[in-house]
Amino acid sequence: MSDKNITSVLKETRQFPPSAEFVARTTVNATERDRLAEWAERDPDGFWAEQAKSLHWTKPWDTVLDWSNVPHAKWFVGGQLNASDNCLDRHVAAGRGNKAALVWEGEPGDSRTLTYQQLLSEVCKFANALKALGVEKGDRITIYMPMIPEAAVAMLACARIGAMHSVVFGGFSADAVADRNNDAKSKLVITADGGWRRGKVVPLKANVDAALEKSPTVEKCVVFNRCNTAVEMKAGRDVWWHDLVAGASADCPAEPMDSEHPLFILYTSGSTGKPKGVLHTTGGYLLGVSLTHKWVFDIKDDDVYWCTADVGWITGHSYIVYGPLCNGSTVVMYEGAPNQPREDRFWEIIAKYRVTIFYTAPTAIRAFIKWGDQHPKGHDLSSLRLLGSVGEPINPEAWMWYHNVIGGGRCPIVDTWWQTETGAIMISPLPGAIPTKPGSATKPLPGIAAEVVDKQGHPVPANAGGFLVVKRPWPSMMRTIYGDDERYKSTYWSHYPNIYFTADGARRDEDGYIWVMGRVDDVLNVSGHRLSTMEVESALVHHPKVAEAAVVGKPDDLKGEGIVCFVTLKQGVAPTDELKAELKAHVVKDIGALARPDDVRFTDSLPKTRSGKIMRRFLRDIAAGRQSTGDATTLEDLNVLAKLRADDE
């Protein structure tokens, strides 16, 4: 890490205040935001205690925050609640059972709507089925599903009986599923025969079959029939979802859980070793996601809300399932690709369901721009009133396009910064309370003590680059890395005493707005997906012909970052194009298609320091070809990042 202060020459000065009409209807206006922020600063425990009253607790808590065992926070200690009860029963009991909970559209064009009452009944049946299979409170359950309502049903059924789910994104390979099964010691896997993606069936069950060859702890596998494809059902192990629920009762009272009872594990990539199981617990997580969903999306009872993420990522957990359902919102869920059958599929969905709030990723926005304005312009997008962005820095040009072409110039944009580890949105505009600037996530939410600091932990001057940290615990923070408290401490809490290290570089401008620039560790952000260079390197060196490998990111107009691999081969191995293709396929098999290298370059040696560390900075320069992206802001960010990283190398 560098302690040098780097001056920025940021050019972006445009500001977009919310319209008077938006402000008139907003839940949190500027005055209210200031009041909340001041309150949270003065009396954090009192502030969070008051917010937590929005949840349904079956037993009140005794202590708001127990921070005695730093960095393992305990929130709302002594309190009891159930996440599934908060997302379902509560709304049905309040007479809102007939409101649409999930409005789902499959890629081939089939669709289903589940009301809160129907979703509750599906969840109860499936929870009873899980119990009948021997699932107990505290067990780990792997969910490897397409984007269908049953993915949410499975998650909520686990929550209902206190089993911890570990959702694995459907784009991961069989090997990646096995790794996660083994790390969590999963007892059961829930999957489907397949799911639709770009007109083809992704063979989920076949991947699970291969994974289960290497997953000794898994006893059973539940299979939902989504695509009617032929799958092998192993006697004594595999059971059809429809057979299980056919005889199951729709009565399954939600079991009260301690506030700190683990809700789920979600694996994410770090800069070293295998993916880590980020652990989230019940009370604090649910408060974080429901409160931020209410504030940031300014949610109203009549909103039709669509988050385009996959439930396999934290965005899907927090802003498709737990946050919006806890708030009783109507959630649109779409199974497939944005360009199937044509590049206007998203705009067709928005027009069809009269979507009012749309939350997507910069990498998708860049693809939309490339596909052309004719696609959104061919549909009625007038129902939209608010737009969101998540997953990576959004370049100002993409922001302006989103604002003008999708938002018709009238919709505020919430650029939301957060991480798998933070559980919920941390830095974002409250859309009716603050003018936005293209490319900035604006300010930390009330209660979130995020700052930009130098190597010593001191706040940096305006516009100087530094490290993004969080100085106080917050309810939805991760509690540990599953099974590895030491790694949790060293990864996040060893850079500064008692301060959470995000591994992102950022700067704060003269108005106090934060501009997140990207990772300062060896984590890549490929199409908004987190990948570790080490993971790709270790996949490569497992190949019998590879001696050594170094993997770096390079700027990519569509994906944000592309993956470039520098590979030295074992003696006598010929560096052929066929071998390049073989190595790319090898990485896909080991991790999944999302990790497919863009470029494999053979080299006789890798540049190293005298102590033997690979000098990634040089490799990044070579990989990038030092090309200008034509965007001064982005280039400046890259320079700042390079300097922030320099001391590590």
415 is in an annotated binding site: yes
Residues contributing to the site for ligand PRX (CB under 6 A):
268, 314-315, 390-393, 415-420, 441, 502, 504, 516, 518-519, 525, 530
Residue 198 — left, alpha, or beta (φ > 0 → left; ψ -120 to 50 → alpha)? left
620 is in an annotated binding site: no
410 is in an annotated binding site: no
541 is in an annotated binding site: yes
Q: How far is the CB of 509 from ligand PRX (least distance, A)?
A: 15
Q: How far is the CB of 107 from ligand PRX (least distance, A)?
A: 23
Q: How far is the CB of 589 from ligand PRX (least distance, A)?
A: 22
Q: Tokens 């290290």: give the residue.
A: 501
What values do phi and psi take at 321, rounded to 5?
-100, -80
The per-residue DSSP string of 74-143 comes to: EEEET-EE-HHIIIIIHHIIIIITTSEEEEEE-TTS-EEEEEHHHHHHHHHHHHHHHHHTT--TT-EEEE
Residues contacting residue 556 through CB under 8 Å, at least 6 positions apart: 526, 562, 598
Nearest to 522 by CA among 493, 550, 552: 552
Helix (H) or strand (E) holding 501: strand 500-508
Pick the closer one to ligand PRX by CB: 162 or 284.
284
584 is in an annotated binding site: no
498 is in an annotated binding site: no
Pick the closer one to ligand PRX by CB: 122 or 415.
415
Position of minimal CB gap to ligand PRX: 420
Q: How far is CA 137 from CA 157, 164, 180, in A?
A: 11, 8, 19
Q: How far is the CB of 315 from ligand PRX (least distance, A)?
A: 5
Q: How many residues does the chain have?
A: 649
Pick the closer one to ligand PRX by CB: 162 or 562.
562
Residues 156 and 151: their CA atoms lie apart, in Å, by: 9
515 is in an annotated binding site: no
Pick the closer one to ligand PRX by CB: 106 or 316.
316
Pick the closer one to ligand PRX by CB: 212 or 296.
296
Tokens of 633: 């802001």
Pick the closer one to ligand PRX by CB: 146 or 518.
518
Q: How far is the CB of 361 from ligand PRX (least distance, A)?
A: 8
Q: Is 102 exposed, middle or buried (0-12, 13-18, 19+ CB in 10 A)?
A: buried
Q: Tokens 């291969």: give the residue.
A: 210
Q: How far is the CB of 416 from ligand PRX (least distance, A)?
A: 5
Residues 11 and 635: their CA atoms lie apart, in Å, by: 11
508 is in an annotated binding site: no
457 is in an annotated binding site: no
251 is in an annotated binding site: no
Looking at 143-296, list the stretches that DSSP marks H as alpha helix, in order from N- to C-terminal side. Answer: 149-161, 174-184, 204-212, 241-246, 282-296
Q: How far is the CB of 644 from ligand PRX (least distance, A)?
A: 13
Q: What is the DSSP letter of 594?
A: G
57 is in an annotated binding site: no
Q: How far is the CB of 483 from ligand PRX (least distance, A)?
A: 19
Q: Is 510 exposed, middle or buried (0-12, 13-18, 19+ CB in 10 A)?
A: exposed
Pick the closer one to ligand PRX by CB: 375 or 530.
530
Pick the closer one to ligand PRX by CB: 280 or 530.
530
List the binding residues for CoA. 197-200, 315, 339, 527
List the binding residues for ATP. 391-393, 415-420, 504, 519, 530
List the binding residues for Mg(2+). 541, 543, 546
